Amino acid sequence: MTTTSPARLVLGREPAAWTSLISAALVLLTTFGITISTETQGVIIAAANAVLGLVVVLAVKESVYPALVAVVQTAVPLFVAFGLHLTDAQQGAILAVASVTLGFVFTRPQVTPKVVDGQVLSARDAYPGE
């Protein structure tokens, strides 16, 4: 049996169509003399993919945490590519803090403790032998 799921659209188009449009715009800009390095073009495409992925995740109501982490992981190198001066240590710190903060904000409220007879069980009691 074959099943299909509805396409996830962003402003009426598939995310791949938007990525193609962005790629074409970059080619057009560089063709007309605007200097954009290949590395910067790659970072722009990666950022667009991350944002489009986030939009799709929000549309399907999935857990937004992984998508937001991906956006941050893409945004930091993008900002560096456009001239923000950050050391490797600073970039790592931003990514670590963002990951922990986003996990705290988006994951923790969705986790509920196991309750038996009105009592919240500890992890040791809830999962004996682990």
**For 42-58, how does the pLDDT look when each residue is reduced to its tens digit (9 = 90+)?**
888 888 887 887 777 77
Classify residue 107: in a domain, yes or no. Answer: yes
Number of domains present in the structure of the chain: 1
Neighbours of 74 (CB within 10 A): 21
Classify residue 7: in a domain, yes or no. Answer: no
Residues 103, 106, 107, 112: is their CA dihedral positive or negative?
positive
Q: Answer whether residue 115 shows pLDDT above 70.
A: no
- Give the pLDDT confidence score for residue 83 in this predicted structure: 84
Classify residue 2: in a domain, yes or no. Answer: no
Classify residue 3: in a domain, yes or no. Answer: no
Classify residue 43: in a domain, yes or no. Answer: yes
Classify residue 54: in a domain, yes or no. Answer: yes
All residues at 6 or more sequence positions from 76 whose CB lies less than 8 Å from its CB, including other chains? 86, 91, 94, 95
- Domain extent, residue 83, equals 15-126
